[in-house]
Amino acid sequence: MDKAAQELADTEDRLASDLQVLSDVFVGPLRAWAPQVSAELPRLEQTLERLFGPLDEVCASCGEFAAELREAGATATWAECFERHETQLARSYGAYALGYARAWQDLAAMRSSSVALDAFARACELQPANQRHLTLASLAIMPVQRPPRYVLLLGELGKRLEKANADATNACRALECAKRVAKAVDENVEREHARRASTSRAAANFKKCAETEAWGALNAVRDGPLLRITKHGPVDAYAALFDDRLCYGDANMKDRALQKMGAAPESPGKEERYVLHRTLKLENVYCCRSATESRGGAGDARGLAPWELLIVSAQKSFVLGAESAEAAAAWRDVISDAASKRRAALAVKDAPPRAVKAFVKRGAETRATDFDIVGLAGDLVARPSGARRDLGPKISHTSHTLAQTKTMPLPRPPGLAPQTYEAELPPPSSPPPPPRPPPLQLPDTNDDFVVTVPVDLQRGLGLELRNGAGTVEVAALAPDSVCSPQVRPGDVLLSVGDEFVQTTEDVVAKLRQRRADAAVSLRLRRSAAPSTNPFMPGSPLISPPVSQEPDAASCEDLIQNVVAMGFGEHDAMKAVAAGRRNVDAVVNWILDNGGPVEEDPDLAFARRLQAEQQSPRGSNPFDSGRQPHVAGNPFA
């Protein structure tokens, strides 16, 4: 028999004998004893299974490999024996090394804290079957050390054979197999160490509890700080995504109080800063993106902003805010992918809910908003309830096609008063306004035509409208009107989207409700004799109507209504002085002229406190000292 093969067979027999001692003297008694001490050591049984689960397979493969290696040594085919068992060795040793990396530290920690467990392990070491008097630690690490030992042993054998001018071909072939086995085992261990590091990092941010201590066996896919929108406003939160669950928690009450006061947290990098709030089953979790990639989500009815994502589940639905649109997209992609894999693994046939309610940041206020969930599970879109549009690709800032689509009205934008205001405030001595005309009958559509135009509140439609007998007529078009050349003076405007209009106030209200849409469809009826366009050169000028000055009481009521919405009283007075005579007109004037929303007194106090401390302001969107504004990112 080849001496090299003889040495390999002897070391393999000795390893098989030691592993049998580990199984019979230590692991077997520990598994039988663990249920008896489950009250004191509730995780012992689970830890033993994670650590020594692959031990039986390792013992079987080791004994089989030793026997075949001894037989192959007689025929000088022991290199072929290594090649035949390469896959089996990599699988069995790799599985054991993975379990060892996962659970040995947990078992060692339990032994150091439990007198009973330490005494039991010492009693096992004193058993007569343990003839070499090996400890549990020295025996448990042997399968992990075996693949590198193959490389060292075969390398030394190859060197000795070369010095003796003997054939070292078998040793070289076996050495290559051993290197591949050791590399596979090392990769498994490295992946496990990376998994434990990411899981430990996620758990370190939360206050310790029974659930966070059980995270050691989980795989953390992604974790990081976010903003969670609650009914009290944005809250500093931390999210941890695992293979089977989504966990999130809010900053502890002390840090939240300091943040509300405008002071810095006690220690931003301190561990256990967040308190676990809820754990969602990943198979029931869906992630929705914004319906628009514009600047929406602040002070209007555009729904989610691009830097926000809506988490929808059977247990809880809420909005999370990220640092940027790119960060929000990364979170959406990883959550959707992990949830899809989880549903596929469990063979769960689940569908996302199509209507949810969540709190959304609106300027200086936080409002509950109803959302409709549309699209497929891979690309869900959250739109405010009532908005309906053909589902298409994500909206681009640079190019998109405006299709003729039917729309339904969006809900009233948050912040607008629920009552209706007339376009002009009548004087106190004027007679009551005449009753509204009867509802407009559905017109004959033979002469009707539809124009689809983009929605641009800054530019407008470029139309001058006037009230007729229960109808709205086009009085004139601006030279750069978006309705040209399809619309001409004298045409009758019948409907905006799917809703018929009878007054110019109806048109303004319907267009304002559709400010979240990229385009809106206008249905008009062509007049027999079009009027001249006063905006075109050579057309006669039309004198504007002389409006009566409203009384002081009406102006005061108008200003108070605007102030109640969160705008400044000074800005409201300037808008009224500029001729704005209803709430919508005053609000639009303030927004167009840069009037900010009235600042929260708590935030103002926080800003003054930070100014006294002379703390620098960065660009971190989670900085509570930055002033909120209406049209931008509310987290900026």
| pLDDT of res. 493 | 82
Q: How far apart are CA 483 and CA 502, in angstroms?
A: 19
Question: For residue 580, is pLDDT > 60?
Answer: yes
Q: How far apart are CA 230 and CA 283, in angstroms?
A: 24
Q: Tell me the sheet residues that pair with 355.
A: 372
Q: Which of 67-76, 98-107, 328-337, 354-363 has the lowest mean pLDDT?
A: 67-76
| pLDDT of res. 395 | 40
| pLDDT of res. 225 | 92
| pLDDT of res. 20 | 92
Assess whether the previous peptide bond of 485 is cis (omega < 30° from 0).
yes
Count the alpha carbons within 13 Å of 563 in the hemisphere toward its beta carbon: 14
Question: For residue 222, is pLDDT > 90?
Answer: yes
Residue range 440-498, pLDDT digits in tens: 444 444 467 777 777 665 567 777 787 776 678 887 777 778 787 778 788 888 888 77
Q: How far apart are CA 438 and CA 211, in angstroms?
A: 65
220 or 549, higher pLDDT: 220
Q: How far apart are CA 441 and CA 445, in angstroms?
A: 12
CB 312 within 8 A of CB 285: yes
Q: What does CATH list as the number for 3-200?
A: 1.20.900.10
| pLDDT of res. 143 | 92
Secondary structure letter of residue 349 according to DSSP: -
Count the alpha carbons within 13 Å of 100 in the hemisphere toward its beta carbon: 23
Q: Confidence band (pLDDT; 50, 70, 90) for 101?
A: confident
| pLDDT of res. 271 | 63
| pLDDT of res. 263 | 52
CB 297 within 8 A of CB 351: no
| pLDDT of res. 398 | 37
CB 577 within 8 A of CB 456: no
Q: Which of 76-85, 110-119, 430-439, 542-551 has the lowest mean pLDDT?
A: 542-551
Q: How far apart are CA 341 and CA 335, in angstroms?
A: 10
Fold topology of 210-384? PH-domain like (2.30.29)
Alpha-carbon separation of residue 294 from 290, 404, 415, 597 (angstroms): 9, 20, 20, 20
| pLDDT of res. 458 | 57
| pLDDT of res. 256 | 54
Q: What is the mean pLDDT of residues 421-432?
A: 48
Q: Confidence band (pLDDT; 50, 70, 90) for 635?
A: very low
Residue range 226-248, pLDDT digits in tens: 999 988 888 899 999 999 999 99
| pLDDT of res. 456 | 65
Amino acid residing at 469? A
Q: Tell me the sheet residues that pair with 372.
A: 355, 383
* HEC-encoded secondary structure of 558-597: HHHHHHHCCECHHHHHHHHHCCCCCHHHHHHHHHHCCCCE
Three-state secondary-structure class, residue 290: strand
CB 610 within 8 A of CB 262: yes
Specify the long-range contacts of residues 115-124, CB closer than 8 Å, at least 24 apart: 116/37, 116/40, 116/41, 117/37, 117/41, 117/44, 120/29, 120/30, 120/33, 121/26, 121/30, 124/25, 124/26, 124/29, 124/30
| pLDDT of res. 315 | 82
Q: Tokens 């929605």 appear where?
A: 455
**Helix 169-204 to helix 142-163 angle, to the nearest 10 degrees?**
150
In the numeric block, which tokens belong to residue 221?
A: 């896919």
Q: How far apart are CA 314 and CA 141, in angstroms?
A: 45
Question: For residue 258, is pLDDT > 60?
Answer: no
Q: What is the mean pLDDT of residues 592-612?
A: 63
Candidate ranges 188-197, 232-241, 573-582, 607-616; pick with highest mean pLDDT: 232-241
Q: How far is it between the farthest Cα atoms of the chain?
A: 123
CA quadruple 87, 89, 92, 93: dihedral sign: negative
Q: Confidence band (pLDDT; 50, 70, 90) for 618?
A: very low
Secondary structure letter of residue 263 according to DSSP: P
Burial 221-254 (b: 16+ CB within 10 A, else e): bbbbbbbbbeeebbebbbbbbbebbbbbbbbbee
Secondary structure letter of residue 313 according to DSSP: -
Q: What does CATH list as the number for 448-525?
A: 2.30.42.10
| pLDDT of res. 536 | 46
